[in-house]
């Protein structure tokens, strides 16, 4: 799908905190993901997002392995009594990098601030496991949470799916597949700067394809590891923006960043959802780069990262209260 006119704005300059981060990255150049092996990129990502000295506190944490494929999950349980509103969360990382630990603090903040149980899914990664295996793991975990709602103290009236970047792509695909197959009901899909289209033909790629947290070369590297062939890239479960219909999907929160190569495809997905009659909250952070939802740990701990998570929490709480 060609996007000629941006539907989300961009600031002329990044937020001062982000400008400082980019300046530091320029002074100490970091390797491009596209220059590394998958294992090298995974190790580098773990170094980029260190463990906080004082993690955000939640009521309890469980580590489980579920389904026939033995998928690891980490369950963040809020204070108070269940059943709990529950967000099944898929981490970002281009389907190649990322794990439960790289997104631990993000999930802690969401659980604590939204009084919501968060189930973080450690799906299998590409290129060892190409499309559709990561999606199959995510959907299996989502179904498992629904099927074990009584045991897990899940409020099935408030069952959400969400994720950031490639995790946002997987969350959107889980919502599509649940609709297509009559799967469990989803109260809201939370798509944080999601990948929605196997295409690089947008103004935001032209504007932001270099110099940020991810580049066009990085995205090509991620997609090439994820897909088995070019035909996969046209499948709506890989490219949700290419779905023929977005009717009857759950309400959505879509977050985009003005200085992100993925801005326009995320905004286009929000617009298509609206056109299909889906209730959408689209938050665009004009002065932000890709990846900020993870930047809530020192030495980053960005104000705008906290604002993005606060807006997400507000949407979740509103859904719970309705």
pTM: 0.96
Cis peptide leading into residue 132 (ω within 30°): yes
Q: Which H/E stretch holds residue 185?
A: none
Closest CA to 139 of 163, 108, 157, 110: 163
Instruction: Give the closest residue to 216 by CA, choosing from 249, 265, 254, 252.
Output: 265
Tokens for 176, please give them: 């599509």
Of 104, 260, 287, 315, which one is the catalytic site residue? 260
Q: What is the pLDDT of residue 116?
A: 98
Which member of 165, 204, 215, 239 is catalytic? 165
Out of 3.40.50.1220, 3.40.50.800, 3.40.50.720, 3.40.50.1820, select the CATH number for domain 16-321.
3.40.50.1820
Q: Which residue ranges in the chain fall short of pLDDT 70?
A: 1-7, 26-29
**In 3D, which of 305, 276, 270 has the Cα closest to residue 290?**
305
Q: Are 226 and 94 in contact (CB under 8 A)?
A: yes
Both tokens of residue 252? 């959505």
Report CA-CA distances (Å) from 179 to 102, 182, 185, 186, 272: 30, 5, 8, 9, 16
pLDDT at residue 322 in the model: 85
pLDDT of residue 1: 53
Active site residue 290: yes
pLDDT value of residue 240: 98
CA of residue 149 relative to chain centroid, distance: 23
Contact between 296 and 302 (Cβ < 8 Å): yes
Give the Cα separation of 264 and 290 in Å (integer). Answer: 12
Q: Looking at residue 4, what is its pLDDT?
A: 55
Q: Residue 234 carries which DSSP code?
A: G
Exposure of 299 in the CB half-sphere (CA atoms within 13 A): 6
Closest CA to 72 of 82, 81, 62: 62
The structure tokens 């799908």 sit at: 1
CA-to-CA distance for 83 and 116, rounded, in angstroms?
Answer: 10
Q: Which pLDDT score is estimated for 8?
A: 80
Supply the pLDDT for residue 300: 84
Q: Which residues contact 299 (CB under 8 A, 6 or more apart)?
A: none
Where in the chain are the domains?
16-321
251-306 pLDDT, tens digit per residue, is 999 999 999 999 999 999 999 999 999 999 999 999 999 999 999 988 888 999 99
């Amino acid at each position: 799908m060609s996007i000629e006119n941006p539907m989300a704005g961009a600031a002329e300059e990044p937020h001062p905190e982000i400008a400082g981060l980019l300046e530091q990255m320029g002074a100490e150049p970091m390797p491009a993901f596209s220059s590394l092996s998958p294992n090298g990129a995974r190790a580098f990502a773990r170094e980029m997002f260190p463990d906080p000295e004082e993690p955000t506190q939640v009521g309890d944490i469980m580590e489980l392995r579920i389904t026939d494929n033995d998928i690891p999950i980490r369950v963040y349980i809020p204070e108070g009594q269940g059943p709990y509103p529950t967000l099944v969360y898929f981490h970002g990382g281009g389907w190649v990098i990322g794990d439960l630990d790289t997104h631990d603090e993000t999930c802690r903040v969401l659980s604590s601030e939204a009084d919501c149980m968060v189930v973080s899914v450690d799906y299998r990664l590409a290129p060892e496991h190409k499309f559709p295996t990561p999606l199959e793991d995510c959907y299996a975990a989502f179904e498992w949470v629904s099927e074990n709602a009584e045991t897990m103290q899940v409020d099935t009236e408030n069952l959400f799916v969400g994720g950031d970047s490639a995790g946002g792509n997987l969350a959107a695909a889980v919502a599509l597949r649940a609709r297509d197959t009559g799967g469990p009901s989803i109260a809201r899909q939370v798509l944080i700067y999601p990948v929605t289209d196997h295409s690089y033909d947008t103004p935001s790629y032209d504007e932001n394809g270099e110099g940020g947290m991810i580049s066009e070369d990085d995205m090509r590297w991620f997609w090439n590891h994820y897909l088995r062939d070019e035909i996969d890239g046209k499948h709506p479960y890989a490219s949700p923006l290419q779905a023929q219909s977005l009717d009857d999907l759950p309400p959505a929160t879509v977050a985009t960043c003005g200085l992100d190569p993925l801005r326009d495809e995320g905004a286009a997905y929000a617009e298509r959802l609206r056109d299909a009659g889906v209730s959408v909250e689209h938050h665009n952070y004009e002065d932000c780069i890709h990846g900020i939802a993870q930047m809530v740990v020192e030495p980053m701990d960005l104000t705008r990262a906290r604002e993005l998570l606060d807006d997400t929490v507000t949407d979740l709480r509103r859904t719970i209260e309705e």
